[in-house]
A and B are shown apart, each in its own frame.
Chain A
Amino acid sequence: MNSHSSLARSQNAELWQPKRNLSKWSEQAVKYIFATFALISVATTLGIVFTLIFETFEFFQEVSIFRFLTETQWTPLFTNAKFGIWVLVSATLMTSFIAVFVALPVGLLAAICLSEYASPGLRRWLKPILEILAGVPSVVYGYFALLFVTPILQSFIPGLKTFNALSAGLVMGISILPLVASLSEDAIYAVPQSLRQGSYALGTTKRETITGVVLPAALSGIVASFVLSVSRAVGETMIVTVAAGANPTLTLDPRVPVQTMTAFIVQVSLGDAPATSLAFKTIFAVGMMLFLMTFILNVFSFWFVRRFQEKYE
């Protein structure tokens, strides 16, 4: 008998022959296949974590963690190898700081302009342009930094070397600017119109409404966009590899060549160090450090959004 239903027979039952078992079976199959796909993202995270932990552990078998954290030189490829990670971390922090110094204020102001001042017609043009800017590959920005920005800066900054942290940081700031602008604009746009009207009704000007009411209301989204762009800057690779150089030096002078964590990984990857060598394990230890930094930023962002997000009906 027809197994699809224990309901009473319907009128014209012979006209309706749904393949319920087949559709039930295919629904289950689709569900489990797609669930497996979703689990691939978890597997990716686990893969990253275990890869980094495993190789970093191997690295620390040969180099003590004490040396890693206290030495003041980074020369893993030399015979007299030194492994002071702060040399690379400080370079990463310096270029990131310069980038963030450009991207956060400019990006936030641009976001305010786009959502509060620009007419819809103008925004229709500006947003795709920002997206193009966001889509420029970092190796192109690297070219731009090394061969366009640095020569210009050299004309008025004495002592600026061909490879330097300043130019790389500035261009990196431009490269993450669209991210700040677009995410902040989403947050600002989501603030309900009624809040703005409430503020205007108290006799405030447009600027006072924006800085006093709209921005605080969008704070969690804006901070999330800031944090994400900081972690982008920390993990940015090609701009600093091309334009900041490959000299691991512990310095705060933005005019001289430095080597960031990411640039070091590229340098070793391009070389012909054997896969079992200490140099190769080093890049996983550096990668671990990089992953931890972005992970902490991300946890902070997650916590902040949860803590401060405003819910509007």
Chain B
Amino acid sequence: MTNIANPTMISDSQPHLQEPALKMEGVSIFYGSTPAIREVYLDIPAHQITAFIGPSGCGKSTVLRCFNRTNDLIPGAKVTGNVFFRGVNLYSKKVDPVEVRRRIGMVFQKPNPFPKSIYENIAFGARINGYQGDMDQLVENSLRRAAIWDEVKDKLKDSGLSLSGGQQQRLCIARAIAIQPEVILMDEPCSALDPISTLRIEELMQELKEQYTIVIVTHNMQQASRVSDKTAFFNAEATEQGGKLGFLVEYDDTVNIFTNPKQDFTRDYVSGRFG
């Protein structure tokens, strides 16, 4: 790759609080020639939790996946418009999607620990991304920050799959923060968990937002109102081809979305009067 001069880029390591961590400008997503998401404009503030809510099939997860370019991995998926991460267009030709994923981590709906030891689950991502620091320290720190260290510190050699569902999901969060991302995307991280595990993860998110920007997709409106600072409400309309086209209805502080929404759609949805 050619040397790219750096003056236009933010080169200090302190995030600018006034600047959004992530920004979408007219993002549309297509599967083949079928549109799935229509023109989304969105600013995600740094060090806050932003929730995406909306009925199932409205494409919230699809939008989330634009932020770490995992849509690239789906054959036929195409993204138009611009997605900015701290001022840099993630879909520019010069940006390596692998590096994007190192910097913007992700936690999935179902816990998906690697079939390796707990230690290796954490160390894997760090190692392939050329981590130069002390690996043991990194593993411990990541597990501590994901609030699972005390439960696993004596069995780091055990398989990650031997843990319970809630522990597995926290292991996956530890795995995500081990590569020191700036943003963590969470795609319905609690939907496969019991209420107690869900609570632990919600508490964890509050601690993590000190250091990370978090975007969470959730089905659960109580969860959105409990944990998030900002909420984006998505909806979908039927298209003539028989598909569904998702779009952003309203985006505001969570308090406003749940108590004083501007759109009737949103009001109906958050109050449960929605089909």
Contact between chains at A7 and B3 (CB < 8 Å): no
- In whole angstroms, what is the CA distance A10 to B4 when docked? 16
User: Which of B92-100, B106-114, B240-248, B250-258 contacts the other chain?
Assistant: B92-100
Chain B contacts of A20 at CB under 8 A? Answer: 96, 98-99
Contact between chains at B92 and A6 (CB < 8 Å): yes
- In whole angstroms, what is the CA distance A7 to B68 when docked? 13
Chain A contacts of B98 at CB under 8 A? Answer: 20, 23
- Given A8-B87, A11-B182, also A16-B132 (CB < 8 A): yes
- In whole angstroms, what is the CA distance A23 to B98 when docked? 10
Indicate whether A313 reaches chain B with its CB closer than 8 angstroms: no
Kindly supply a per-residue 1/0 record for chain A positions 14-52, scoring 1 wherever the CB is within 8 Å of any chain B CB and 0 otherwise: 111111110110000000000000000000000000000
> Separation in Å of the A3 CB from the closest CB of chain B?
4
From 6 to 46 in chain B, residues with beta carbon under 8 angstroms from any chain A beta carbon are 6, 9-13
> Separation in Å of the A285 CB from the closest CB of chain B?
45
Indicate whether B129 reaches chain A with its CB closer than 8 angstroms: yes
Chain B contacts of A18 at CB under 8 A? Answer: 99, 102, 128-130
Contact between chains at B9 and A16 (CB < 8 Å): no
Indicate whether A13 reaches chain B with its CB closer than 8 angstroms: yes
Residue in chain B with minimal CB distance to A19: B130
Which of B9, B94, B96 counts the most chain A CB atoms within 10 A?
B96
Indicate whether B249 reaches chain A with its CB closer than 8 angstroms: no
Contact between chains at B1 and A10 (CB < 8 Å): no
Tell me which of B94, B128, B132, B180 contacts A6 (CB under 8 A). Answer: B94
Indicate whether A1 reaches chain B with its CB closer than 8 angstroms: yes
Indicate whether B219 reaches chain A with its CB closer than 8 angstroms: no
Chain A residues touching B, range: 20 to 34
Kindly supply a per-residue 1/0 record for chain B positions 137-181, scoring 1 wherever the CB is within 8 Å of any chain A CB and 0 otherwise: 000000000000000000000000000000000000000000010
Residue in chain A with minimal CB distance to B13: A11
Tell me which of A4, A8, A9 contacts B96 (CB under 8 A). Answer: A4
Indicate whether B77 reaches chain A with its CB closer than 8 angstroms: no
Contact between chains at A16 and B129 (CB < 8 Å): yes
- In whole angstroms, what is the CA distance A6 to B3 when docked? 9
- Given A16-B129, A18-B129, A21-B1, also A9-B10 (CB < 8 A): yes
> Separation in Å of the B184 CB from the closest CB of chain A?
14
Indicate whether B86 reaches chain A with its CB closer than 8 angstroms: yes
- In whole angstroms, what is the CA distance A29 to B97 when docked? 19
Show the binding face of A for B, using Cβ within 8 Å: 1, 3-21, 23-24
Show the binding face of B for A, using Cβ within 8 Å: 1-4, 6, 9-13, 85-88, 92, 94-96, 98-100, 102-103, 128-133, 180, 182
Of the A-B pairs whose beta carbons lie under 8 Å apart in the complex, a sample of 19, sorted by A's number, is A3-B1, A3-B2, A5-B96, A5-B99, A6-B9, A6-B88, A6-B94, A8-B9, A10-B13, A11-B180, A12-B180, A15-B131, A16-B132, A16-B180, A17-B132, A18-B128, A18-B130, A21-B1, A23-B128
